[in-house]
Every structure is written in structure tokens, then in C-alpha cells.
């Protein structure tokens, strides 16, 4: 990169411009935290599975559940149908458990929390107040947050560092804690619902996750309760050669409502890291869950080195009548994304929505989309997917809309658009449409195009430079999805769109 | 991270899942008396090797997920009684044309016209294959083989190895009338393989009409090679018995400024699959593939699968896929269409629409409209809709005094109109439209 800078400068180009261009696409969460970690031995075996279970202090039924999944996983083959091209993953060359040494005994006050962990969250932009709460400081919960409150479960490598606002949530009857805590404290709920949406046999990565998941979040909203604040989980991968396998289970009981946010980052490293999460959502009668993600894992460098391999199974089961679920995702990170947040519309009149923007740059590859499985009568689904591909990236929308014979009078509308920036990238659409009754209506639309010259000209005429103009056009293109994001993410998403596309034009 | 590697990755599983020891394939080949071939000998040998490498199609193959290949894989088809002439007279009989008749896939010289048409050289695979060389040797099995590099198509390789007859047509001029191939049946258990090779020299034009019914089971391949500025129009209205099994594949290569257009009308058939694999290799070329499918399963199962793969590897080309299916009484319609835009195929205009009209609760439509794009200055779109007849429009027509059954026929005809528009010749289009009207009225 220095060579280019020198060359450009010799030609008399403005140094600042050259440096800006040279630094473009830089990942601002790419630093790491130097902290003493405790690892399970490298590799995967029944012993490692038992060890993870033991570290989490799990009862025997949970250990058995994991071992059963592990034994199945060793018989399974990694799927190859996605349009993704990456070197073979050596599943034995990974650490499956890593936690900061200081987390061995849970800190009770700010003074006890490892300052390095504290600094990590401060640097990631989590406000100080929230950070104090994060670290579990007594009294901070009572501090008036300015306006809205967001409860956070912060996961650092394999463990949950802390969950905020637990007491206040408990007053409303809401359970929000790490999944390891839920296994200990609420075994009846976990046993009833864990694996009921994504069974341990579901797919290669979900089965792997079922065997080795270390932490993640657990949410239970009791009947008729509107969760008093938004819930969020922040995932941070820090340790090298360590896979993160979190498991999230959300149960919205009859007539309840919750909005859940998920964020994730990781340091820049030369070697790729594995992330295989499972998110299960159970939505009962008249309940509604809104799940929003801004996925910002390290995407690898400009030459395609390193980055997170993200293989995620996310599924919501609208189990009863009039249940509603809404997935919103902004996918900008990861070297490899394999992710299909889905809705099983089992209850009559249930509704599923999926809004997605996937942005790939440099050597990133994303194969992402959704499944809308209509089983109940009068079920409704809507899919809006925007894929943006730049550099040498490949971006695939893959989706299924299935109307079962009994899902009469159901409705789906799908719109997926792709935008290509530059002639070295690819954008692909692979929708599956299965309609097995006549009273349902399914519509699918997709287009692929480049940034419109007329729009670009219009913006430039008004004094924008080309990159700004592209950012504005792309933001317009992605607006429908961004609007579906909760306030907390809207600003972040707007800037993410601009960041990922900088340097792609010209 | 090369783009090509990504494309190949998709293909690999299809090929890898085959393997030599495929007992179903051995059983399939054992009952066939495969010709050694003259000028086609090498192509047949290669095709057999290809087939052995990939094996017969399997239900878990990506492009067979919606159509169970069992009936195509069975060594022999079940016999189907020879049907009496249906209520419709054969199409296109009233116009000037060069008629070639095939009976269960074999040329019938007595029933056909003399093979003479200005600007056209008409040959037959059955006679030409006695020779060691023929102009079609560069094409026979070669376009089919090239297409298999992306997705395995075992039925096509089987055809190249097994076909004994078909037309070998080379066009150098602009003939005054179309060629009309009429298929007839004689043997109620015939398992038919035929293979056409069509080459249009620069600037040449040809309209090929194909009608009739053949075999208890049929497997056809047409390889179409269009040179610069050639125009080829293929209109097929094959009649299938209710129990008919058929697989067919059209493999086309389209050079600069050439135009390829095909329209297929399909009515009934237990299990039908049509594949169209079109490579647009020259700039400013055009390829349109359209089909109107009418399925009424009231007299037995109906399953119709259209699988299309259009590759753009040149600049400023246009492709259109227009597929309309009207399904009734539990009929099943499949559409798997793909547009692949290779790196550098800038200014591509790709369009794809697949629509199904389900006339009752039992019918099904399964679709996979796919795009794979590696060039940025392109416009590609696809749309797919499935639903029942619009009750508001129906009410409108009825309130104007149109009886319900007639109103439905009119609405179905208007639903099919976009596909029919792909037939350029107005008189041909009208003849097909009248035929559709008659069929719909009978099945109302």
C-alpha cells in the first residue's frame, strides 16, 4: 500500500486524498484486547464437549444433549451447495472454548471487573453508563438512562460477561440472561424449547453448535407482557484460532412483544475464524418478536486474508395463531456468510417478514436469504432483500417460499434487488418457490443492475463527489431495509452502508 | 477466489455423486441397442463416458429436485395404447411447408415430401451416419457436451449415444417456406430417441415447426448452431397422450447478431421435461424462449417441467424467458430458469418471467428463477407469480353478460398472451391461439 501511496504522490496527487483512498475499507473494530485467556485444548472430541458442559456447570441432561449432537455431527458432511468458495475448514485446528481468566468468578462490582474488558466495550462504543451496567455494578441499573433503555448481554469469546437491567426486567416478569445461566436457573423452559425450532439434527453447522455452544442469550417474555425495553446481545470474538458458537433462545409467550438487537465484531487477524451460531425464536399466540442484526464481523483484508467464516442458523417458529416475527439484517462483515433467517408460519394468520441488506466488498462472499414456510391458513410473508457487491466480492440471495396445501389464502411478496459496483464482482439470486394450493398468491421480483448513470449524474450535478453520490444512491436503494431497523441501529446502518462502499467507484 | 472456481464448485457435486457402479444405469443401457455410428462414433463414445461419469439423474440432484426422474430412468416404458385421433386436427396443415414425417422417431420417406428446399440442405441422421464424415460432425454431441460443463444433463448424453435418426439441416439462404416435422406413433411400447442438428450459416433464416406425438416414452435432443446474423424460429406444438413420458433438450449456440426464438405449446402428458440450454456467444445477439403449458390432470397425473439455462458471454445481448402454465385438477408445473452473465458480458438485457395460474386447490407450481451475474453494467430481472384466477376480473366479465366458463377461457387466453407473442408470424400465432381456445373450451 505504501508503494501505491509513494507512486501517487510522485505524480503530484494530493497526499490526503491518496491516504484516504489507501485507508479505505479499513475495519475500525479490528483491534484486539490483550487479556489472559483460559482455553480448552485445541480440537474437538467428546471430552471437549464434556469440558464445555462442565465449565458451564450444566446438568447431566444438557451434557447428554450435547454428546448426542456431537455423535451425529461426526457422521455429517459439510454442505457445499452455497455459492461460496473457501479453503477447507480444519475443525480440529480450532479452540472451542476460550474465556478471560478474570471471568472465572463473576465480578460483583466495577472494581472487580478486569479493566481490559471494560476498555474493550468502551472502545466498541458502548456508552459509559451502559458499560457500568454491563459490568454489573449495583445501583447503575437505577441511574436514569437518557430516554430509551436497552438491556445488553455482552458475550466475549465463549462467555457472557454480563447482562444489564436484569432486575428491572424481572419486575415485568421478563427473563433475560445468558443461556448458560438459563440452563441452570430455568431448566424447565430450556428443556421445553431448546432445539424445538432448530433441532440438533438440522444441519451440519447447527449440529456442531448444539454440541459445542458455549454461551449466548436467553429471553422469556411472559404472556401479555410488552418487554419494557429493547434487549440486545453484543458478540465479540477476541481470541485467536477460536470459534464462537453462541446459542440464542427467545420465547415470546401469548400476547407478548419484544424487540431484540444483535451486534458483533472481531479483531483483524490473518487467519480465518469460525462462527457458527444458532438462534431459535418461539412465538406463541398473538405474540410478536422483532429481531434485528447488524453483522459486522471482520471481513478479511483487501487481499482476502483472514476474516470470520459465519455459518449461522436462525429460525423463528410462529407456533400459534396470529404470531408475528420480523427479521431485519444488515450484513456487512464476515469473509464468508452462510445465513438464512427463516420463519415457520405454523399458526393461522401468522406473519413473517424479512428485510435484509447484504454488502460485500473486496474478497467477501455472502450466500444469504430466508425461508418462509407457510403451513397455517391466511399466513402472510414479505421478503425485501438488497444485495450490494463491490470489489471482487460475490453476493448471493438464496430464498425459499413454500405454500403448503393447507396454507390456504396465504400471501407472499418477495422483492430482491442486487447492485454491482465494478466489473469484478458477482451478484446472484437463487429463489425457490413452491406453491401447493391455488388460493395463495406468491409474487417474486428481482433485478440486478449497476448504479444508475442518470442518478449519479444528478447527484454530482448537485456538488457531491462520486463516492458520496454512490453512497446516497445506495442508501436510497437500501432505504426500505434500513427503515425497518430500530432507532439504535438506524444511524449505524446508514454509516455502514457508506463505509463499505467507499473506494468502490472509479 | 477466481470467479470460475465458484461456478465449478456448483457443478462438482452433481458430477461427483454419479460414479461408475450405477446399477440403474447398467440396466438402462443393457436394453438399448446402441449404434456404433459413422461420423458420430467419437461423439457417441464421449457421450457414453459422460453418462457413466455422472450416472442417471437422482432425485437429490439440484436440477431434479422437483421432478422425480424414476420414469426416465426405468429401462423400458410402460406401453401406452395408440390413441385415436383426438378432436383437434393437426396444426399447420393448411400452409406451405416442407413436411418430414417421423414414425416413433424413424424417418418415413413415403409419408414425407422430397428433401428439396431452396437454400437448405436436408439430411437424415439414419442415412448420413453410414459415412465417416458429415458437416454436422462438428456439432453432433458437441454443443450438448459443452453445456454439460456447467450442469450435468445425463438424459442428453444418453440421447447422443442412443439416437439413430433425426434431421440434419443446414441452411445457407432464406427458404420460402418452413420445415414441418410431424411425429406419429405406431408401436405402443416404443422407447424413442431422436437427435436433430440444425446449422444456420451467416444471414440464413429458418422456421421449424414440430407437431405430433411419438413413442410411449421419448427422448429428443436438438442442437442448433446459429452463425452471425442468422435467424431461427422453432415452434413446437407436440401432442402428448395422457400417459406420455417425454424428455427433450434444445442446445443452442448463438453467434453475433443472430436471433434464436422458440415457442413450445404443451398440452397434457404424465411426465414431461423440456430443457433449453442456450449459449449466447456473439455480441448483439438475441435469444427468446417461451412456452405455454396447459395441464388438466382429470384423466391421470400431469407433470410438466421447463428447465432453462441461458448463458450470456458477449456484449449487448438480449434474452427473454416467458413461461406460462395453466394448471387444473391437481396438475403440477415446474419452472427452473437461469440467466448466467459471464464476466465481460456488459450491456446484457436479461428478462425472465414465470407465471402459473392454478385453477383449483390441488394444482401446484414449483419454481426456481435464478440469476448469476458477473458483470456490472447489465439489466437482469426476473419475476414469478402464482395464484388463482382474479375473481374481480371474472365478475367484471360476467356482469357484462359473458358466461362464467367463457369468461374463464378469455382470462386464461389473456394470461397466455405474453408467451404467444413470442411467435413472430401472425398467422401461426392465430392458429395456435384458436387451438388453445378450443382446448380450453373443451376443458372448461
- The string of pLDDT tens digits covering residues B251-261 is 999 999 999 99
Residue to test with chain B: of A448, A451, A453, A454, most B Cβ within 10 A: A448
Q: What are B312's strand-pairing partners?
A: B280, B341
Chain B CB contacts of A304 under 8 Å are 1
The answer to whether residues B381 and B322 touch, using CB atoms and an 8 Å cutoff, is no
Residue B424's pLDDT band (boundaries 50, 70, 90)? very high
Burial of residue B398 (number of CB atoms within 10 Å: 0-12, 13-18, 19+): middle
**Among A238-242, A380-384, B114-118, B369-373, which is the least confidently predicted range?**
A238-242
CA B430 and chain centroid, separation: 21
3-state secondary structure (DSSP) of residue B415 = helix
Cell numbers 441499573: residue? A141
**Among A409-413, A465-469, B156-160, B161-165, which is the least confidently predicted range?**
A465-469
B381 and chain A: CB distance < 8 Å anywhere? yes
Q: What is the pLDDT of residue A218?
A: 94
Which chain A residue shows the shortest CA-CA distance from B365? A435
Which chain B residue shows the shortest CA-CA distance from A399? B368
Chain A CB contacts of B366 under 8 Å are 432-435
Rounded mean pLDDT of B25-48? 94
Q: What are B253's strand-pairing partners?
A: B225, B279
Q: Do A447 and B379 touch (CB under 8 A)?
A: yes
Residue A390: pLDDT over 90:
no
Q: What is the pLDDT of residue A11?
A: 39
Q: DSSP letter at B241?
A: -
Instruction: Give chain A's mean pLDDT.
Output: 80
Rounded mean pLDDT of B91-109? 93
Which chain A residue shows the shortest CA-CA distance from B351? A447
3-state secondary structure (DSSP) of residue A269 = coil
B158, three cell numbers? 444418453
Residue to test with chain A: of B65, B371, B375, B382, most A Cβ within 10 A: B371
DSSP 3-state percent helix, strand, coil across chain A (nearest 5)? 25, 35, 40
pTM for this entry: 0.85
3-state secondary structure (DSSP) of residue B143 = helix
Q: What is the pLDDT of residue A497?
A: 59
Q: Do A429 and B370 touch (CB under 8 A)?
A: yes
The answer to whether residues A468 and A429 touch, using CB atoms and an 8 Å cutoff, is no
Residue A306 C-alpha, separation from nearest chain B C-alpha, in angstroms: 13
Residue B291 C-alpha, separation from nearest chain A C-alpha, in angstroms: 19
Residue B326 C-alpha, separation from nearest chain A C-alpha, in angstroms: 11
Which chain B residue shows the shortest CA-CA distance from A86? B1
3-state secondary structure (DSSP) of residue B154 = helix
Comparing A80 with A3, the larger pLDDT belongs to A80
Give the residue numbers in A contacting B (CB under 8 Å), as ranges.
80-81, 83-85, 304, 363, 392, 394, 405, 408, 418, 420-450
Chain A CB contacts of B370 under 8 Å are 428-431
Q: Do A445 and B383 touch (CB under 8 A)?
A: yes
Cell numbers 446459429: residue? B226
| Closest partner CB to A428 (pick from B344, B365, B373) | B373
B392 and chain A: CB distance < 8 Å anywhere? no
| Closest partner CB to A85 (pick from B5, B346, B381) | B5
| Closest partner CB to A449 (pick from B1, B356, B379) | B379
Q: DSSP letter at B50?
A: H
Comparing A278 with A235, the larger pLDDT belongs to A278
Rounded mean pLDDT of A390-398? 90
Q: Do A438 and B358 touch (CB under 8 A)?
A: yes
B201 and chain A: CB distance < 8 Å anywhere? no
**ipTM associated with this complex:** 0.86
Pairing of strands A342-345, B379-387: unpaired
3-state secondary structure (DSSP) of residue B115 = coil
Q: What is the pLDDT of residue A111?
A: 57
Q: Which are the contacts of B145, defined by CB distance < 8 A and separation ≥ 6? A: B43, B46, B47, B50, B157, B160
Q: Do A443 and B367 touch (CB under 8 A)?
A: no
Please report which helix (H) or strand (E) contains residue A166, including its range.
helix A166-171
The answer to whether residues A209 and A313 touch, using CB atoms and an 8 Å cutoff, is yes
The answer to whether residues A310 and A317 touch, using CB atoms and an 8 Å cutoff, is no
Q: Do B371 and A363 touch (CB under 8 A)?
A: no
Q: Which are the contacts of B247, defined by CB distance < 8 A and separation ≥ 6? A: B72, B155, B218, B219, B220, B272, B273, B275
Residue B257 C-alpha, separation from nearest chain A C-alpha, in angstroms: 23
The answer to whether residues B365 and B358 touch, using CB atoms and an 8 Å cutoff, is yes
C-alpha A480/C-alpha A326 separation (Å) is 14
Chain A CB contacts of B9 under 8 Å are 80, 83-85
pLDDT, tens only, B344-380: 999 999 999 999 999 988 899 999 999 999 998 888 8
Residue A236's pLDDT band (boundaries 50, 70, 90)? confident
Residue A8 C-alpha, separation from nearest chain B C-alpha, in angstroms: 27
B1 and chain A: CB distance < 8 Å anywhere? yes
Closest CA to B102 of B168, B165, B19: B165
Q: What is the pLDDT of residue A460?
A: 81
Q: At what angle do helices A487-501 and A466-483 cross, to 10 degrees?
A: 150
Comparing A1 with B66, the larger pLDDT belongs to B66
Closest CA to B143 of B129, B132, B157: B157
Cα angle, residue A253 at apex, residues A248 and A256 outer, rounded to 5° = 100
How many helices (H) and strands (E) are present in chain B, helices listed first?
Answer: 10, 20
Q: How far is residue A390 from each of residues A155, B296, B300, B388, measured CA to CA in Å?
A: 31, 47, 51, 40
CA B417 and chain centroid, separation: 19
What is the per-residue burial (b if ≥16 Cβ within 10 Å, else e) of A425-450? Answer: bbbbbbbbbbbbbbbbbbbbebbbbb
Residue B308 C-alpha, separation from nearest chain A C-alpha, in angstroms: 14
Q: What is the pLDDT of residue A368?
A: 93
3-state secondary structure (DSSP) of residue A223 = coil
Q: Do A442 and B384 touch (CB under 8 A)?
A: yes
3-state secondary structure (DSSP) of residue B383 = strand
Q: Which are the contacts of B393, defined by CB distance < 8 A and separation ≥ 6? A: B411
The answer to whether residues A422 and A454 touch, using CB atoms and an 8 Å cutoff, is no
B200, three cell numbers? 444456420
Chain A CB contacts of B374 under 8 Å are 425-426
Q: What is the pLDDT of residue B377?
A: 86
C-alpha B5/C-alpha A394 separation (Å) is 12
Looking from the CA of A64 toward its CB, the CA atoms found within 13 Å total: 4
Residue B323 C-alpha, separation from nearest chain A C-alpha, in angstroms: 14
Closest CA to A304 of A280, A271, A330: A271
Amino acid at each position: 500500500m505504501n508503494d501505491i501511496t509513494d507512486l501517487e504522490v510522485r505524480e503530484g496527487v494530493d497526499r490526503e486524498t491518496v491516504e484516504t483512498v489507501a485507508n479505505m475499507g479499513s475495519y475500525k473494530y479490528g483491534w484486539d484486547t490483550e487479556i489472559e485467556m483460559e482455553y480448552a485444548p485445541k480440537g474437538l472430541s467428546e471430552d471437549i464437549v464434556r469440558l464445555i458442559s462442565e465449565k458451564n456447570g450444566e446438568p447431566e441432561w444438557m451434557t447428554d444433549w450435547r454428546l448426542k449432537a456431537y455423535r451425529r455431527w461426526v457422521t455429517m458432511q459439510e454442505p457445499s451447495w452455497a455459492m461460496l468458495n473457501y479453503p477447507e475448514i480444519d475443525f480440529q485446528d480450532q479452540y472451542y472454548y476460550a474465556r478471560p481468566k478474570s471471568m472465572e468468578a463473576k465480578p460483583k462490582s466495577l472494581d472487580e471487573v478486569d479493566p481490559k474488558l471494560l476498555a474493550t466495550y468502551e472502545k466498541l462504543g458502548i456508552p459509559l453508563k451502559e458499560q457500568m451496567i454491563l459490568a454489573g455494578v449495583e445501583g447503575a441499573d437505577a441511574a436514569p438512562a437518557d430516554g430509551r433503555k436497552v438491556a445488553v448481554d455482552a458475550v466475549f469469546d465463549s462467555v457472557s460477561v454480563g447482562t444489564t437491567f436484569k432486575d428491572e426486567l424481572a419486575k415485568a416478569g421478563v427473563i433475560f440472561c445468558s443461556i448458560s445461566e438459563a440452563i441452570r436457573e430455568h431448566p424447565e423452559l430450556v428443556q421445553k424449547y431448546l432445539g424445538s425450532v432448530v433441532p440438533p439434527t438440522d444441519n451440519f453447522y447447527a449440529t456442531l453448535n448444539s454440541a459445542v455452544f458455549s454461551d449466548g442469550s436467553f429471553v422469556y417474555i411472559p404472556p401479555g407482557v410488552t418487554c419494557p425495553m429493547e434487549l440486545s446481545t453484543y458478540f465479540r470474538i477476541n481470541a485467536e484460532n477460536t470459534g464462537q458458537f453462541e446459542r440464542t433462545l427467545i420465547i415470546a409467550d401469548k400476547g407478548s412483544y419484544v424487540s431484540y438487537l444483535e451486534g458483533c465484531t472481531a479483531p483483524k487477524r490473518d487467519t480465518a475464524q469460525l462462527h457458527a451460531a444458532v438462534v431459535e425464536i418461539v412465538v406463541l399466540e398473538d405474540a410478536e418478536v422483532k429481531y434485528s442484526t447488524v453483522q459486522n464481523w471482520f471481513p478479511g483484508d483487501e487481499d482476502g486474508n483472514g476474516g470470520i467464516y459465519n455459518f449461522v442458523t436462525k429460525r423463528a417458529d410462529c407456533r400459534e395463531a396470529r404470531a408475528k416475527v420480523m427479521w431485519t439484517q444488515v450484513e456487512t462483515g464476515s469473509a464468508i456468510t452462510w445465513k438464512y433467517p427463516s420463519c415457520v408460519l405454523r399458526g393461522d394468520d401468522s406473519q413473517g417478514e424479512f428485510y435484509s441488506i447484504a454488502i460485500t466488498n473486496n474478497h467477501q462472499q455472502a450466500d444469504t436469504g430466508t425461508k418462509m414456510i407457510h403451513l397455517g391458513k391466511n399466513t402472510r410473508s414479505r421478503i425485501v432483500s438488497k444485495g450490494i457487491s463491490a470489489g471482487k466480492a460475490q453476493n448471493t440471495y438464496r430464498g425459499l417460499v413454500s405454500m403448503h396445501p393447507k396454507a390456504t389464502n396465504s400471501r407472499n411478496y418477495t422483492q430482491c434487488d442486487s447492485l454491482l459496483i465494478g466489473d469484478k464482482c458477482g451478484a446472484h439470486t437463487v429463489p425457490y418457490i413452491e406453491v401447493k394450493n391455488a388460493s395463495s398468491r406468491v409474487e417474486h421480483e428481482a433485478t440486478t443492475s449497476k448504479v444508475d448513470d442518470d442518478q449519479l449524474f444528478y447527484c454530482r450535478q448537485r456538488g457531491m463527489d462520486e463516492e458520496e453520490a454512490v453512497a446516497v444512491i445506495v442508501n436510497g436503494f437500501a432505504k426500505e431495509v434500513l427503515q425497518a431497523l430500530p432507532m439504535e441501529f438506524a444511524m449505524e446502518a446508514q454509516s455502514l452502508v457508506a463505509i463499505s462502499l467507499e473506494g468502490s467507484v472509479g | 477466489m477466481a470467479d470460475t472456481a465458484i461456478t465449478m464448485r456448483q457443478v462438482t457435486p452433481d458430477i461427483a455423486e454419479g460414479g461408475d457402479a450405477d446399477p440403474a444405469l447398467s440396466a438402462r443401457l443393457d436394453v438399448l441397442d446402441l449404434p456404433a455410428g459413422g461420423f458420430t462414433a467419437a461423439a457417441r463414445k464421449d457421450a457414453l463416458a459422460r453418462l457413466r461419469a455422472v450416472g442417471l439423474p437422482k432425485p437429490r440432484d439440484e436440477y431434479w429436485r422437483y421432478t422425480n426422474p424414476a420414469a426416465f430412468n426405468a429401462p423400458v416404458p410402460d406401453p401406452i395404447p395408440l390413441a385415436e385421433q383426438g378432436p383437434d386436427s393437426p396444426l399447420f396443415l393448411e400452409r406451405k411447408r416442407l413436411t418430414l414425417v417421423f414414425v416413433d422417431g424413424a424417418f418415413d420417406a413415403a409419408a414425407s415430401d422430397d428433401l428439396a428446399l431452396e437454400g437448405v440442405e436436408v439430411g437424415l441422421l439414419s442415412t448420413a451416419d453410414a459415412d465417416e464424415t458429415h458437416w454436422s460432425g462438428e456439432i453432433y454431441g458437441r454443443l450438448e457436451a459443452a453445456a454439460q460443463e456447467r450442469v450435468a444433463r445425463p438424459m442428453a448424453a444418453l440421447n447422443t449415444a442412443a439416437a439413430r435418426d433425426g434431421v440434419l439441416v443446414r441452411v445457407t439462404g432464406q427458404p420460402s417456406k418452413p420445415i414441418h416435422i410431424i411425429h406419429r406413433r405406431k408401436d405402443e411400447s416404443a422407447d424413442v430417441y431422436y437427435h436433430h442438428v440444425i446449422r444456420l450459416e451467416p444471414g440464413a433464416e429458418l422456421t421449424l415447426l414440430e407437431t405430433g406425438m411419438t413413442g410411449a416414452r421419448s427422448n429428443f435432443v436438438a442442437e442448433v448452431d446459429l452463425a452471425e446474423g442468422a435467424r431461427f424460429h422453432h415452434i413446437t406444438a407436440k401432442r402428448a397422450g395422457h400417459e406420455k413420458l417425454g424428455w427433450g433438450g434444445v442446445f443452442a449456440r448463438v453467434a453475433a447478431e443472430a436471433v434464436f426464438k422458440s415457442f413450445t405449446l404443451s398440452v397434457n402428458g404424465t411426465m414431461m421435461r423440456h430443457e433449453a440450454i442456450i449459449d449466447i456467444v456473439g455480441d448483439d445477439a438475441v435469444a427468446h424462449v417461451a412456452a405455454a403449458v396447459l395441464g388438466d390432470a382429470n384423466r391421470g397425473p400431469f407433470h410438466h417441467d421447463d428447465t432453462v439455462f441461458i448463458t450470456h458471454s458477449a456484449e449487448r445481448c438480449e434474452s427473454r424467458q416467458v413461461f406460462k402454465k395453466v394448471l387444473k385438477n391437481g396438475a403440477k408445473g415446474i419452472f427452473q430458469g437461469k440467466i448466467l452473465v459471464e464476466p465481460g458480458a456488459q450491456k446484457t438485457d436479461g428478462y425472465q418471467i414465470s407465471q402459473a395460474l392454478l385453477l383449483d386447490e390441488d394444482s401446484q407450481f414449483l419454481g426456481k428463477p435464478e440469476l448469476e451475474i458477473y458483470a456490472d453494467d447489465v439489466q437482469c430481472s426476473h419475476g414469478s407469480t402464482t395464484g388463482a384466477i382474479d375473481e374481480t376480473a371474472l365478475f367484471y366479465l360476467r356482469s357484462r353478460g359473458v358466461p362464467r366458463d367463457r369468461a374463464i377461457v378469455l382470462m386464461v387466453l389473456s394470461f397466455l398472451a405474453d408467451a404467444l407473442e413470442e411467435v413472430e408470424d401472425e398467422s401461426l400465432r392465430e392458429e395456435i391461439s384458436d387451438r388453445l381456445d378450443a382446448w380450453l373450451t373443451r376443458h372448461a
